[in-house]
Structure 1
């Protein structure tokens, strides 16, 4: 990200909100230049503008971070998730981890079943690809003679999955259940591949490969 815009985001992260004049002072630029940077940040959905009224004088505008803007700062969700899984395993054993992951993916599948209900396999593959993309998985699919290939180029749980490969198994099973088809895992990012890729083929009983 451009240096001045990053400085603006960092200032807003520390202060919560700020006026144009405050930001101009903070980044040591004239207000008109800062305003152009703010326009870009607002266009990108990283900041928002609010009108603030004081006890006297005209109202003025202040800027603050949006949820998307907050997400530009590092998070350690993967550390927390890995520690939670390790703690569950210490207390309840591997069976406890499996029960937890099974419950999580049961909910994931149940919440999305209505989006694929009544559709043929071609439409289900397209819809599941869209679902994965909405989650940030950079998913795409392609037709092949025997069925379809489903690729995901971003793994949301990569750092955790690298330590707990069972996560990949439950995702595999969740996709199989949602697609109601035979799903064979070909590549896995947690194992060092460039993508998580699956071959999807019709199956009367949706038996996992």
Structure 2
């Protein structure tokens, strides 16, 4: 299956590029090549080379600053992708919400709610799967999971004619350890998009080495 770059995973950033993004993060109106060359104590050419790479990968974009006198100056501003390069911690907030929801509605309704969420996401993505064979749907699902942040591999279940999808990471591992019902979200999403029953054979949140799903 053809691999593609995951847009949710930032490309490799050098220490100098990290510094540039930090300065642009602190100066949301943008900075010019000269301003960054001065603050970083490097040449204009050096800054421009880093700008080329950062702009190509979508971390920064050009803007214009209109000077009162003289021609406008080209400045660079950080993009949403550049902002998202810096780590954010949402797990504690998600845990607070999920724990409160579980307490309010109980385990069975909580499980059903996870299934409903998986179905809703599947509805939004269904256009990518319409008219495709099962094999094509499986490949498309692997790409969807990759975009969500999973590292996945598609294969055949040993001793059977069933395909399987193996995920080597869990994008909400800490949450799933406390709330195993979250796995119902994945199962509902996968079964809805494939229009097939999907069975979970292993789960990292329960101590397994990977999350493995069999397509019945």
Length-normalised TM-score, structure 2: 0.82
Give the C-alpha shift of residue 95 in structure 1.
4.5
Give the C-alpha shift of residue 5 in structure 1.
1.0
Give the C-alpha shift of residue 49 in structure 1.
1.3
The answer as to whether partners of 1:88 and 1:96 remain within 8 angstroms in 2 is no
The answer as to whether partners of 1:11 and 1:26 remain within 8 angstroms in 2 is no
Larger RCO (CA within 8 A; separation ≥ 6): 2
Distance 2:207 2:61 in 1: 39
Report the counterpart of residue 156 of structure 1 in structure 2. Answer: 171
2:31 aligned residue (5, 18, 43): 18
The answer as to whether partners of 1:47 and 1:64 remain within 8 angstroms in 2 is yes
2:130 aligned residue (101, 109, 117): 117
Query: Do residues 186 (structure 1) and 198 (structure 2) align?
Result: no
Length-normalised TM-score, structure 1: 0.84
The answer as to whether partners of 1:185 and 1:199 remain within 8 angstroms in 2 is yes
Report the secondary structure of 2:178's partner residue: coil
Root-mean-square deviation (CA, aligned residues, Å) is 2.2
User: Which stretches of structure 1, 4 residues or more, deviate above 4 A after TM superposition?
Assistant: none
Report the counterpart of residue 177 of structure 1 in structure 2. Answer: 192
> Where does the alignment leave 5 or more consecutive residues of structure 1 unmatched?
202-209
Distance 2:139 2:215 in 1: 12
Change (3 A) 1:49 1:193: farther
